[in-house]
Structure 1
Amino acid sequence: MRYTYYILMILMMFACGGNDSAIQKANMLSQEIGKRFAPDGREAIYTTSFSMSSNGSLVVSGETSLPKAKLALFSSLEELNVHLVDSLVMLPEDKMGNKIWGLINLSVVNLRSHPKHSAELVSQAIMGTPVKVLNKKNSWYQIQTPDKYIAWVDEAALNLRTKEEMMDWRNAKRVVFIPHFQVAKDEKGQETITDIVAGSILEVQKENSKYLLLNLPDKREIRLNKSDCMDFDLWKSKEIKEPAILTQLAKEFMGRPYLWGGTSSKGVDCSGFVKSVYFMNGIVLARDASLQFLHGDTISPEQGFRDLSEGDLVFFGRKATENKKQRVTHVGMYIKDGEFIHSSGRVKINSFDPEAENYSNYRTVTWLGGRRVLNRLGEEGIVRVSEHPWY
């Protein structure tokens, strides 16, 4: 209703001001649609521009990854009563052909803000992660990961698949690698093929009483101990009966170095840390701290840390003032008894309790509240792997 109201107000405003151009009207309409469908550019692509052709047509250019946004835009622009020329690219582009899906092909790959190695490392993805391929520039692919995050990856990191090939992968017998890190060798256990990290998803080729012969996404073969792997269907269906299981896994990261953009057992940033802990328990969280802050039941700072429960996410940053908006810059996971575990320099445990030896005054005064995600499983930003269509 609010969206419809804004559109009507824009049209009425420009109906009374005949001197304003169709381009100005179109830009305002597009901005409102962008706010509705693509409020955060990290999770959706929606860029538009407008120009008038020589014959008076309104040319709509740009690109989007959201079919519904494009449909809403052109529906709104029809109210301007001008001829429309559709030059808005729908991603994935046609030049991608039918291979618009892929699997991460290396143990851990770096996701960049732009298609070049010198661009900011914004996130990572681990082997066997299914991704949607949106675009290509030179040897770089723009991809979207299961948490909706959009970034660029070099071609060596990706094994392209068709929709049918992805379906075959989903129907194949798969396992999840459980230990934090290992070097994987060939079938005879002699030559090193790759390294591998926790959460990697691999296809089973054959097995015996002790070993599994597994296919990497590019069909390289590795041998792993059965005891280091868990059947994918069993893993994705397991329940978090007690939040203590989250704490136990989180503590296994203790001392692991902080890595900006890191989301693997090799190194993690703050949101990558809690994301990894939850993913190893079959739950896909949103990528960044500010995105994770948008999901789950709210525990406000006024309620105090004693209202937090084990497994809750705790957020920190700049509190709102008269001149500045609140800004989320850090996240950790609450354990109990006033303690939380987080990646800050390294993965460590601090406390909200001023009497505790590991008390952090800095984190306490910048605490923005908590989010209880275990009560909201299956909702936006807190998706079970078992319910995610990409897996």
Structure 2
Amino acid sequence: MKYTYYILMILMLFACGSKDDAIQKANKLSQEIGKCFAPDRREAIYTTSFSMSSNGSLVVSGETSLPEAKLALFSSLEGLNVHLVDSLVLLPKDKMGNKIWGLINLSVVNLRSQPKHSAELVSQAIMGAPVKILNKKNSWYQIQTPDKYIAWVDEAALNLRTKEEMTNWRNARRVIFQSHFQIAKDEQGKEIITDIVAGSILEVQSENSKYLLLNLPDKREIRLNKTDCIDFDLWKSKEIKEPSMLTQLAKEFMGRPYLWGGTSSKGVDCSGFVKSVYFMNGIILARDASLQFLHGDTISPEQGFENLAEGDLVFFGRKATENHKQKVTHVGMYIRDGEFIHSSGRVKINSFDPEAKNFSNYRTVSWLGGRRVLNRIGEEGIIKVSEHPWY
């Protein structure tokens, strides 16, 4: 097992001692397990607490979305030589029943940091995206999206499904909508049913020479032009043969408004923009700029922007000092000839070249380096849709 040596070292460190300090040692063990398995709370849930029962048992409470983290924790705690009571909830919670999967049911849904409409908008998800259901509070569901991001959505956003129903969906004939935005009508082309955005995944019910009759996740029917869609299996098998494919699509976003948490063709934040560009080319990137910064081949500022290649992600923020750690706050995508495209106020193009009319001194002095993700497709944080089990 990948973490066996790691766990053994922890056990050796904490094996000695009395039951009086069992809670303190358990907390230290849990912290180490959390660092190993769940380093970022945006992508994993791992919260624990410990108490001693009246009969001297160590009660382990909390919740986690990671079965492997729970297994590692209890394996480590056995070294304390105390009886363990398992009250650590493994998500999804039992109350969810067998419908622990879902499809996004609206064109674009807002993902919140907490189960309420007034909470921070942290991300978005597009119609037809598969999600895992972790928890429920009132009319809100805690979900995990294919890029591992965890957030809350209102129940209207979801069509809940069982594991078997998700298998049927994956085996069905599907298409992905490629135009940026459209109003979708019923089979007769008369009544408006919904709006729809690029990246929406829909099941095919029937077709004729011009139109597709499609099912939304909740089985509402819409009619779309064939020319606006592509067969999903064909689309996900396509390769990025030239980085110019990314540049071409990125430029189609020019002028779109910046939206904090935005990931759709209606509006995007900086990381949502590059994520959308790559997703429409079949690649799932990590959600936030600071997460995207962790993946891909590094091009350091010392190497200079001349060493960047088309399609590289370029990151900006606060550089490390004696008193502060480096902090990634912004991301864009390198085009060529010193230029990069990014969402800042709106989607626009700036340059690293001081002689260029669109030179940005602010971005140049805050440049933290680049990440070449095209060389790392298939690795953690740079996953092909065709290789993601949820699709």
- Fold match (TM-score > 0.5): yes
How does 1:336-347 map onto structure 2 within 5 Å?
336-347=336-347
Long gaps (5+) in structure 2: none
Partner of residue 331, structure 2:
331
Return the alpha-carbon distance in structure 2 between the equivalents of residues 6 and 352 of structure 1. Answer: 47
Task: Report the alpha carbon displacement of residue 21 of structure 1 after superposing the two structures with TM.
Answer: 1.3
CA drift at 1:176: 0.4
Q: Which residue identity lines up with residue 209 of structure 1 in the other structure?
A: S
- Structure 1 pair 18–80 and aligned structure 2 pair: CA distance change class (3 A): closer
User: What is the match of residue 260 of structure 2?
Assistant: 260
Aligned partner of 1:168 in structure 2 is 168
The answer on whether the counterparts of 2:19 and 2:82 sit within 8 Å (CA) in structure 1 is: no
CA distance in structure 2 between the partners assigned to 1:331 and 1:310 by the alignment: 14
Distance 2:25 2:14 in 1: 8
- Distance in 1, Cα, partners of 2:385 & 2:343: 24
Matches within 5 A, 1:198-217: 198-217=198-217
Question: What residue in structure 2 maps to residue 382 of structure 1?
Answer: 382
- Secondary structure, in 3 states, of the residue corresponding to 2:135? strand
DSSP 3-state at the match of 2:375: helix
Residue 249 of structure 1 pairs with residue 263 of structure 2: no
How does 1:1-391 map onto structure 2 within 5 Å?
A: 3-4=6-7, 7-8=10-11, 10-11=13-14, 15=16, 21-391=21-391
**Matching residue's letter, 1:130:** P
Q: Tell me the secondary structure at the aligned position of residue 376 of structure 1.
A: coil
Partner SS for 2:106: coil
CA distance in 2, matches of 1:189, 1:59: 61
Checking the alignment, whether the CA contact within 8 Å between 2:11 and 2:79 is kept in structure 1 is: no
Provide runs of 4+ in structure 1 moved above 3 Å.
17-20
Q: Distance in 2 between matches of 1:21 and 1:209?
A: 74
Partners of 1:3 and 1:32 within 8 A in 2: no
Shift of 1:224: 0.2
Q: Deviations over 1:308-334 (max 9, x none)?
A: 000000000011111111110000000
Shift in CA distance, 196/55, structure 1 to aligned 2, threshold 3 Å: same
Alpha-carbon distance, 1:4 to partner: 3.9
RMSD value over aligned CA atoms?
1.1
Query: Structure 1: how far apart are the matches of 2:120 and 2:13?
Result: 38
Contact 1:339 1:352 in 2 (8 A): yes
Task: State the alpha-carbon separation in 1 of the partners of residues 18 and 318 from structure 2.
Answer: 44
State the alpha-carbon separation in 2 of the partners of residues 182 and 18 from structure 1.
67
Q: CA deviation at 1:5?
A: 6.6
Does structure 1 retain, via aligned residues, the 8 Å contact 2:58–2:85?
yes
Distance 1:19 1:82, change over 3 A: closer
Determine the C-alpha separation between the residues in 2 that align with 1:367 and 1:6: 39
Structure 1 residues 207-237: Cα deviation after superposition (integer angstroms, max 9, x where no partner):
0000000000000000000000000011000
Contact 2:299 2:307 in 1 (8 A): yes
Q: Distance in 2 between matches of 1:196 and 1:134?
A: 26
Q: Give 1:9 shift.
A: 5.8
Q: Distance in 1 between matches of 2:36 and 2:249?
A: 37
CA contact (8 A) 1:10 1:28 kept: no
TM-score with structure 1 setting the length: 0.98
- What CA distance in whole angstroms lies between the structure 1 residues aligned with 2:68 and 2:240? 35
Structure 1, residues 166-221: CA drift from partner, whole Å, max 9, x if none?
00000000000000000000000000000000000000000000000000000000
Partners of 2:249 and 2:191 in 1: how far apart?
31
Asked whether the equivalents of residues 301 and 369 of structure 2 are also in contact (C-alpha less than 8 Å), the reply is yes
Q: Contact (CA 8 Å) 2:7, 2:72: kept in 1 or not? A: no
SS of corresponding position for 2:343 = strand
Task: Check the 8 A contact 2:111/2:152 in 1, yes or no.
Answer: yes
When residues 178 and 131 of structure 1 are mapped into structure 2, their CA distance, relative to the original with a 3 A threshold, is same
**1:18-70 C-alpha deviation (Å, 9 max, x unpaired):** 59611000000000000000000000000000000011000000000000000
SS of the residue 1:44 aligns to: coil
The residue type equivalent to 1:354 in the other structure is P
1:374 match: secondary structure: coil
Count of residues in correspondence between the two structures: 388
- Cα pair 1:101 1:163 within 8 Å, conserved: yes
User: What is the CA deviation profile of residues 332-388 of structure 1, one whole-angstrom value per residue up to 9, with x for unaligned ones?
Assistant: 000000000000000000000000000000100100000000000000000000000
Per-residue deviation at 1:10?
3.5
CA distance in 2: counterparts of 1:77 and 1:178, whole angstroms? 51
Q: Is the 8 A contact 2:258 2:347 kept in 1?
A: yes
Q: Answer yes or no: is the 8 Å Cα contact 2:107–2:195 preserved in 1.
A: yes
